[in-house]
Amino acid sequence: MGNLCLLLVTGSLVLFFSGFAVAVDTLDASRPLSDGETIASSGGAFELGFFSPGSSRGRYLGIWYKNIPVRTVVWVANRSNPINDSSGMLMINSTGNTVLLSRNSSVVWSPNTTEQAKNPILQLLDNGNLVLRDDKNDSLNSYLWQSFDYPTDTFLPEMKLGWNLKTGLDRQLSSWKSPDDPSLGDFTWGMANRNFPDVIAWKGSNKYFRSGPWNGLRFGGAPQQGSNSIFWYNFVANGDEIYYMYHVTNKSVLVRTILNQTNYLWERSTWSEATQSWRLFLTVPKDYCDTYGICGVYSKCTTDQLPYCQCLKGFAPKNPDEWNSTDGSQGCVRNKPLNCSTSASDGFIKYSNMKLPDTTHCLVDSTLSLKDCRSKCLNNCSCTAYANSDIRGRGSGCAMWFGDLIDMRQYPDAGQVLYVRMPDSEIGKSKSKVWIVLIVALAIATAIGMLIAICYTRRRRNNFRDRAENISEGQESERPDDDLELPLFDLHTIAESTNNFSMRNKLGEGGFGPVYKGILVDGREIAVKRLSRSSRQGLREFKNEVILIAKLQHRNLVKLLGCCIQGDEKLLIYEYMPNKSLDAFIFDKERSKLLDWHKRFNIICGVARGLLYLHQDSRLRIIHRDLKASNVLLDSEMNPKISDFGMARIFGGDETEGNTNRVVGTYGYMAPEYAIDGLFSVKSDVFSFGILVLETVSGKRNRGLYHSNHSLVGHAWELYQAGKSSELIDSCLVDTSNLSQVLRCVHIGLLCLQEHPEDRPSMSSVVTMLNSDNALAVPQQPGFLVERNPHRGNSSSGVDSSIVHEITFTLLEAR
């Protein structure tokens, strides 16, 4: 592969040289490049020169973005052979060879070329590619050598990742050893040269992550690489090449992908002029199940239920003891062997939403239909599974696996169908179980129907009375024995971990009861939410929160570890957030100083991503209905996590909004259509997010009264109209804030607060607006202003009196 590489984002540099830049983008035999000089691409996007990374004193020849303040290197020539002084020189010598020389003219690096040019020149292109070509050959892409063929840790748009099958060239990324040392690190990332190719990351000689094979639209194990407005993908597999490439939609947007030596192995980010920093767009591995082969053979990994590793139907853990201790690496074995050549036949079990298994032992025939694929697999005793090789349209092509199946996972709403071979006796057993269940269910239903007929009159007579009593007492019909599909903790264990719910362990108290810090016997820190017996949250809301959070997996949502239902006690056990909630910082005069603007902006963006996941990317559309500063928890690094899903509602299919007579939520955060008419949708969450943004920027609660007797919303709107939104900024942010970014957040917040739900942006649009510098729409006047009502009257509007008696809603007419 040669000794050529690319660099990643580096911190401070020991040597900031302002050397003089050659006016052109090329070097020839008469124009060498010395240490202290640079050349720039014709459009000014990239620069080539010498540099020292981090605290290193070694000098390297590299390429970096020319107009980014923090030097971001994308390629290094002599990554494993630094020059120890400033004597380095890049030149084309008298024999026409390109060489990098150090003191005493010793060759440090030279490109590996097989052809000799009559008039060789080196040219730095505006896509970051350094090319060697013949000055007399004007044909496009006629290069004798190019840096894009020898990447290091940075994958740029228009760069190929993969194989040239004619020459045997393997273009793959390799991580730096450290930010100070660009030599080879532990990780490599490249295209597997096989019949059904996918992209694999190795740690040393071991597979670390696998993308899943290309399914015609994207790599099957990376559903987060779906369609977006920033870049698009290109995959080529033919007799000459196998490679993957991505292109940016807007050439002015700077996008890079780097291979790190960290937990987030693979990162794609875009440069933000507003923040003067890189904005993370995609990361791999995304979660526990992204680790290669974490559950062993014949097992699928799932993140929406526990345990994460689950044997396929007809299989059992190979080592039950290790399996029960959450170590699934040895995988599963068949309960019964395949029949194959015996008189009995085999069949297939269908699995949906799957990441297809490792394709090392896989064959593809693009001409076969799925039906023919099944027949061909069934007629080969070694074939263990099959699937479509292309999912476009109704699916096409045939992929067949031979041998053990490994590195599978099941997504809530992504992936594709996989058919796994099983002995017919196991399939028949499954069918028999289904029939037994149906017959039993029918018998039970008949018995229940008879009981209903007997009790109908009595129940009808008492129904209205029971409902009236439940409503007046704030209760529901509750059954504690439902299967919550989550680890159940013993009450004694939780009591011991919290020092018997000691006041010293109390972290705070929400609308549904106190929260305590606990430490389990294994040392894990937990937060225990103890449902108050007088709480408005009944068992229904409690179960709702358990079921919802147990199925959600996102870095900006709090993680639920388990629950406890014992007697009158209902407890939720969460991961512990050492910095508690956002309101504890932004509304506190002293602690607010600990949240500079960079941290606050990251919190705003994190909450936006969490809501986007709830609204769009999770298996079901989820409306939180109680988003507020106290429900945004902060981990040790001040990363935000949305919590408290007791009031959340699930939408499925094409549902977009709901209606309720029981309005629940928090004063100051509710959208007008929800507070007044009981209508809620994703746009009511957007409204709450808008309030949260203004509070985070200003450090003021929306409930307070400010200038002209306005709430925070009214005050922000008044300042926006006067062109004075900067006066809204928290005084402690003056020295740390990026004014244009803060004003953009205020603008986005007001867009989220518009009166009509259809005028508010979706959370996907909000995330895009936060991470771009594009022009924003002009907001309309907010839906209502919330002011204190000095006369606390009763409500007759159907809204919970516990909320309405504290506020009045003043509808604003459009001006």
Residues involved in catalysis: 626
Residue 29 to residue 97: CA distance in whole angstroms: 9
Residue 77 to residue 97: CA distance in whole angstroms: 15
Structure token pair of residue 176: 């730096």
DSSP string, 370-419: HHHHHHHHHT-TTEEEEE-SB-STT-B-EEEEES--BSEEE-SS-SEEEE
Task: Tell which residue, 193, 224, 226, 190, has the closest CA to residue 208.
Answer: 190
The reply to whether omega before 357 is within 30° of 0 (cis) is: no
Residue 473 to residue 243: CA distance in whole angstroms: 65
3-class secondary-structure state, position 151: coil
**Which of left, alpha, beta for 116 (phi over 0: left; psi -120 to 50: alpha)?**
beta
Structure token pair of residue 755: 């009166």
Output phi, psi for 273, to 5 deg.
-65, -35
Strand 408-410 and strand 299-301: the pairing is parallel
Residue 660 to residue 685: CA distance in whole angstroms: 15
Determine the Cα angle at 171 with ends 168 and 175, to 5°.
Answer: 140
DSSP string, 732-766: GGTTT--HHHHHHHHHHHHHHTBSSGGGSPPHHHH
Task: Tell which residue, 4, 2, 257, 3, has the closest CA to residue 147.
Answer: 4
Task: Tell which residue, 26, 94, 13, has the closest CA to residue 60.
Answer: 13
How crowded is the C-beta side of 8, counted as CA atoms within 13 Å?
25
The reply to whether omega before 757 is within 30° of 0 (cis) is: no
Residue type, 113: T
User: 693, 603 in Cβ contact below 8 A?
Assistant: no
Cα separations (Å) of 796 from 662, 676, 680, 754, 804?
12, 11, 20, 26, 9
Output phi, psi for 787, to 5 deg.
-130, 155
Tell me the sheet residues that pair with 562.
573
Task: Tell which residue, 641, 642, 639, has the closest CA to residue 595.
Answer: 639
SS3 for 33-50 is EECCEEEECCCCCEEEEE
Residue type, 110: S
Strands of 487-635 (E only): list them: 506-510, 513-519, 525-530, 560-566, 569-575, 621-623, 632-634
Residue 266 to residue 186: CA distance in whole angstroms: 13
User: 773, 271 in Cβ contact below 8 A?
Assistant: no
User: 384, 404 in Cβ contact below 8 A?
Assistant: yes
The packing angle between helices 682-698 and 712-721, to 10°, is 80
Which residues have a Cβ under 8 Å from the Cβ of 439 and sit 6 or more positions away?
Answer: none
Tell me the sheet residues that pair with 333.
316
Residue type, 123: Q
Output phi, psi for 481, to 5 deg.
-100, 10
